[in-house]
């Protein structure tokens, strides 16, 4: 089934990692249409820190030319004959993953985001040899498993950043038992962190503590739902917050900000520090005693499953979780990635398709 809309397949592509902020409108070939595939006309796409790591070559070589972007929203314009969840005209979104093996234990148990054979929204290769291209574009084609319905009460531009930054914060809160009776810390008040504070509040955590290296974002953090604010640039903050938190979401590169031993000190017995940032460099060395002394656990989390994303969007509507965005025409993508890399945005750029 399809609409009368004839899709154009083009987007803003990087052609050289040394010229990572220079984009050219470039035609591309989508993967072949399969029975459970959905074609989406893209209207908005958020800019994620992952985009910057990728286009600068920080995570290694990339397939050029490359169209980044994986916080995508738009409307369905075509569905394959075996698609059951969507119809033409539906408001939908796409996150950081567009495919998996579909057959492994992880996929079959609803943990498709941890499939060992993932296809990412860009810079991956489909089985037919096509390179996946992202959301700084006019359209995307993918399996319906990785397409998410957007609630009517949520605008597309508000929903876009939730599909990566939002779920990156929500999933570990859910998985690690955030809720009444729990105290949660969020280190770094940026794209992911601003959702971490809001979702922890929405999940009725007793205490929501924002950690930042200066006072600059204190007012924002409190407005976003923090009950407390900690300036990690101040003296004696570790002593003041020792043994207070059940869960910490770490959204920053700890090698450049806070020693892991200081983070572990703030956790209660068997507290959990969940790493969400993916810096170019390795984590700093860890003294085992800093973990053993309180039996703390260091873990990680990777985006979220479809079920979690649908649940997150519903919670966002019910509890009034908002995306703090700066909306720009997609032609200003170069300016936006510069601002993202420099940490200037509060708290997510969203691009509106203009080609």
260: domain CATH number is: 3.40.50.720
> Residue 212 forms beta bridges with which residues?
231
For residue 250, how many other CB atoms are within 10 A of its CB? 26
Residues 15 and 142 in one domain: yes
**In whole angstroms, what is the distance from residue 90 CA to residue 69 CA?**
21
Residues 230 and 278 in one domain: yes
Residue 279 binned pLDDT confidence (cut-offs 50, 70, 90): confident
Per-residue pLDDT of 219-248, as tens digits, reads 999 999 999 999 999 999 999 999 999 999
Residues 220 and 324 in one domain: no
Residues 290 and 189 in one domain: yes
Residues 16 and 129 in one domain: yes
Domain that holds residue 36: 10-164+304-352
**In whole angstroms, what is the distance from residue 195 CA to residue 297 CA?**
23
Residues 160 and 171 in one domain: no
Residues 327 and 337 in one domain: yes
At 13, is the secondary structure helix, strand, or coil?
Answer: strand
5 is a domain residue: no
155 is a domain residue: yes
Residue 6 binned pLDDT confidence (cut-offs 50, 70, 90): confident
* pTM (whole model) above 0.75: yes
Is the distance from CB of 345 to CB of 339 less than 8 angstroms? yes
Average pLDDT of the chain, as a whole number: 96
Per-residue pLDDT of 172-195, as tens digits, reads 999 999 999 999 999 999 999 999
Residues 46 and 127 in one domain: yes
Residues 73 and 154 in one domain: yes
Per-residue pLDDT of 12-35, as tens digits, reads 999 999 999 999 999 999 999 999
Please compute the mean of the pLDDT values over residues 52-77 and round it to a whole number: 98
Residues 250 and 152 in one domain: no
pLDDT at 1 exceeding the cut of 60: no
Residues 16 and 111 in one domain: yes
Q: How many structural domains does the chain have?
A: 2
Residues 211 and 278 in one domain: yes
Per-residue pLDDT of 112-153, as tens digits, reads 999 999 999 999 999 999 999 999 999 999 999 999 999 999
């Amino acid at each position: 089934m399809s609409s009368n809309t004839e899709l154009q397949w083009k987007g803003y592509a990087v052609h050289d990692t040394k010229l990572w902020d220079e984009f050219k409108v470039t035609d591309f070939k989508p993967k072949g249409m399969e029975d459970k595939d959905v074609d989406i006309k893209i209207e908005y796409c958020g800019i994620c820190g992952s985009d910057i790591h990728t286009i600068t070559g920080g995570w290694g070589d990339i397939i050029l030319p490359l169209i980044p972007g994986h916080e995508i929203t738009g409307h369905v314009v075509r569905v394959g004959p075996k698609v059951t969840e969507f119809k033409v005209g539906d408001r939908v979104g796409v996150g950081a993953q567009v495919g998996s093996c579909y057959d492994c234990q992880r996929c079959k148990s609803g943990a498709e985001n941890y499939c060992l054979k993932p296809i990412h929204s860009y810079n991956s290769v489909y089985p037919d040899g096509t390179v996946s291209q992202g959301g700084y574009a006019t359209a995307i084609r993918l399996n319906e498993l990785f397409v998410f319905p957007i609630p009517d009460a949520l605008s597309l531009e508000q929903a876009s950043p939730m599909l990566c930054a939002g779920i990156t914060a929500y999933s570990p809160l859910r998985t690690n038992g955030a809720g009444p009776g729990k105290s949660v810390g969020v280190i770094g008040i940026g794209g992911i962190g601003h959702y971490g504070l809001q979702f922890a509040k929405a999940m009725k955590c007793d205490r929501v503590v924002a950690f930042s290296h200066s006072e600059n974002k204190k007012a924002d953090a409190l407005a976003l739902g923090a009950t407390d604010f900690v300036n990690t640039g101040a003296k004696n903050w570790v002593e003041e917050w020792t043994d207070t938190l059940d869960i910490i979401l770490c959204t920053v590169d700890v090698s450049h900000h806070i020693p892991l031993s200081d983070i572990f000190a703030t956790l209660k017995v068997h507290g959990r520090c969940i790493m969400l940032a993916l810096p170019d460099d390795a984590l700093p060395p860890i003294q085992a005693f800093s973990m053993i002394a309180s039996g703390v656990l260091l873990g990680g989390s990777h985006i979220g499953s479809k079920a979690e994303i649908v649940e997150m969007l519903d919670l966002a509507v019910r509890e009034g979780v908002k995306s703090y965005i700066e909306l720009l025409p997609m032609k200003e993508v170069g300016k936006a990635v510069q601002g993202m890399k420099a940490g200037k945005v509060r708290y997510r750029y969203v691009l509106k398709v203009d080609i």
